[in-house]
Structures are given as C-alpha cells and as structure tokens.
Amino acid sequence: MDWSIETWRTLAITSSIISIISFAILIIICIYYLVKKHSKRIIKEKDGIRYTVSDKTQNEGGQVATYIKGDIILKPDMVYVAGKDFKPGRYNVLSSMENLNKVTLKVNGVSRSQEHNTGIIFMEGDIIIAEKYAIILR
C-alpha cells in the first residue's frame, strides 16, 4: 500500500482536530465539576417557602457578614413585608456591623434582640423593620 504525502497530511490534520476536540471536552467537564462542587446552595425552596439548609456563617471563628447571592439586606427604619418584599420562611440573622453581636429588629410591632447567626422564621404578612443598623437575612 502506497501512502502519498496528501494522505499523511489528511491523517495528521484529522488526528490534530480529534485531539483538540478531546481536550476541549475534557476542559468543559473539569469546569462543570468545579462549578458544581463550589455552588452548593445553602438555601432550599419548596412550595414557595424558603429554607436555610446550612447554618454556616462562621469562618475560622470570626463573623462572616459578606453578602452572597440570595441574601436579603434590610435597611434600617425601612418597612419590609414577608411574602411581598421577600419569601416567608426560615432565615439566619446576621449583623452587618463587624463587631456587633446583637441586632434589633421589630417584627409585627414587637421589638426583639437577635444574636448574630441565629435563626428566625417569618410567616406570610409579617412586618419587619431593622432598627439602627442594616441586617442581613441568609
């Protein structure tokens, strides 16, 4: 069997294209698994009610008040209604001030003090007001 230069050239080009496509597929698979690994949701939603799956808000013993996707920031002295401004359900209350361990919020007219990283449940129609400082609901 006599292989001409044109046959060798076609074979080389074909094998190069197959190698490039295989490498691209490998890169796409790696990116998919990395994104999947790092995008574990800490919030689950079922039947229109929001649930906090993980209470992780601490990092090496310090407070973590960094805004992440899905967080709700309650500005001070603004009125928010559960079911209208955000979904009813369980939230972790986080202080937006670095060294503030307690925050005060008014729920349905009753003022209450909440520790940083404690849970609270809001029902449909609850009226919430953050007093003094902004509060992060996660």
Residue 128 backbone dihedrals phi, psi, to 5 degrees: -120, 135
Q: Which residues pair with 107 in a beta bridge?
A: 110, 128
- How much is the pLDDT for 27? 93
- Tens of pLDDT along 15-26? 999 999 999 999
Q: Model pTM?
A: 0.54
User: What is the second-level CATH architecture of the domain 43-137?
Assistant: Sandwich (2.60)
- How much is the pLDDT for 80? 93
Tell me how far apart the terminal alpha carbons of the chain are, to the nearest angstrom: 71
| Block residue for tokens 């190069």 | 16
Mean pLDDT of 47-58: 54
Q: Which residues pair with 82 in a beta bridge?
A: 86
Strands (E) across 4-97 are located at 43-46, 49-52, 58-59, 62-63, 72-74, 79-81, 89-95
Mean pLDDT of 109-130: 88
Report the run of H or E that residue 104 belongs to, with start and end. Answer: strand 102-107
pLDDT bracket for residue 42 (50, 70, 90):
low
DSSP 35: H
